[in-house]
Structure 1
Amino acid sequence: MNYDKEPTVFIVEDNEDAREALCFLFDSVRLKTETYPSGDEFLKHYEPERLGCLIVDVRMPGISGLELHKELIAQNALIPIIIITAHADVPMAVRAMKAGAFDFLDKPVNDELLLERVRQAIEYDKQRRQEECKRQQLLERLEQLTPREYEVMKKMLQGNSTKVIAYDLNISHKTVETHRGQIMRKMQAKNVAELVRIGMGCERTIKFLYRE
């Protein structure tokens, strides 16, 4: 996937004047925008691989902003969401933030504050996607290992010598060396220190993907 495309600020707001005002604000700082009059309309057109952030009003005809947020989470669409409303209350804000909203802002929103939070949300989305790409690359490398190579790599990462690994796994010293060579090649590591660094990333990847 290409995550270097121009980011988009997606605006979901049923009030046409408010949509136009937000578009004007983001156009003034050369941020690309797309607007939708309802959450349902946004869901019809949204593509999760697109970089950016979402600004959504809470109260709209049809699906509300909070319901749209829940639906995106259910679809595993992790775009950062800034919720804005003229009818805020503390419990609503708490629910939104606990559900993973990037921010919750009261109307009328200060332009400079909104621009700052949108830039931060876009940067967050970039970093998240880059990390996701790295995790996928690491997982692909791991999947190339045979079960035995995976066992050997775990013991290497624990600091065990070739002799100890051979003894623990009841295989020859030469077999361990062969596995080591295959592991270094498949994991694209130049030396053991680099393998350790990659291995730490693999551990985080496995925990993230399988929630271990």
Structure 2
Amino acid sequence: MPVKTTPSVFVIEDDFAVRDSLVLLLRSQGLRARGFASGVEFFANLPTDLVACVVTDLRMPGIDGIEVVRRLGELRGDAWPIVVITGHADVPSAVELMKAGVTDFIEKPFEPQRLVETLKGCVSRMHQVGTQMEVRADIDRRLAQLTARERQVFDALAAGLSNKEIAARLEISPRTVEIFRAKVMTKTEAPNLSALVRMSLGLV
């Protein structure tokens, strides 16, 4: 079974005092938090976490929050939800980012507890997303062990074909299908045909 991953929270903030206090606050609430002084530093040391939450200030030198959101969208899709911290004058931009898929924006000055609760909600959802992604990765690992012919047999079995129908489709004997079927079941670690079908659907 896949090992459960605890999502991280990455704080991108150029003000050291704000960044440090946010990281300490999040850690005090039991969250895994790490700070970055800028968007440039963040992307130069881009974490490899499967899932994570990102908190970014909107106005920063070099790579601003809008560019952070754009780049993360290209690199991670919606696997990394983003919370934007913004000043009053930046609210229209933050609203546009919300429409583009940002999870939330928090206006300065903000109540620390609001940020904590928002991120805890993100982490909770990320647990579910992370589990799904890990399951998919585990299935892909098993399927990668199949030879081209074994994959053909797997696909045919998942489609509900009988050994006889598979033999006719692949122009091999039913006995040969049985041999390939046994190899498929072993390599995919599927205990039965039902499990094999669920695997083809990305389930366990």
TM-score range, shorter chain: 0.7 to 0.9
1:94 maps to a residue whose letter is E
Any idea what the Cα deviations from partners look like across 1:9-43, whole Å, max 9, x if unmatched? 33222334433543453354243433333222333
Structure 2 residues not aligned, in runs of 5+: none
Say if 2:81 and 2:102, in contact at 8 Å, map to a contact too.
yes
Partner SS, residue 82 of structure 1: strand
Q: Is 2:138 the counterpart of 1:137?
A: yes
Q: Is 2:92 the counterpart of 1:104?
A: no
For 1:85-164, list aligned pairs within 5 A.
85-86=86-87, 87-90=89-92, 92-98=94-100, 100-164=101-165
The percentage of counterpart residues that share the same residue type is 32
2:95 maps to a residue whose letter is A
| 1:117 CA displacement | 1.2
Instruction: Report the counterpart of residue 35 of structure 2 in structure 1.
Output: 35
Instruction: Report the counterpart of residue 56 of structure 1 in structure 2.
Output: 56
| Greater length-normalized contact order (CA 8 Å, ≥ 6 residues apart) | 2
**Higher deviation after alignment, 122-131 or 61-70:** 122-131
Partner SS, residue 202 of structure 2: helix
TM-score, normalised on structure 1? 0.77
2:96 maps to a residue whose letter is V
State the distance in 1 between where 2:28 and 2:199 align.
43
Instruction: Report the counterpart of residue 205 of structure 1 in structure 2.
Output: none
Instruction: Report the counterpart of residue 13 of structure 1 in structure 2.
Output: 13
State the distance in 1 between where 2:65 and 2:169 align.
57
Structure 1 residues not aligned, in runs of 5+: 203-212
Any idea what the Cα deviations from partners look like across 1:59-96, whole Å, max 9, x if unmatched? 12222111122233344485332111113444542335
Q: How many residues align?
A: 200
Change in 2 beyond 3 A, CA 1:120/1:62: same
TM-score, normalised on structure 2? 0.80
User: RMSD across aligned C-alpha pairs, in angstroms?
Assistant: 2.9
State the distance in 2 between where 1:117 and 1:181 align.
49
State the distance in 2 between where 1:51 and 1:198 align.
22
**Higher deviation after alignment, 40-49 or 182-191:** 40-49
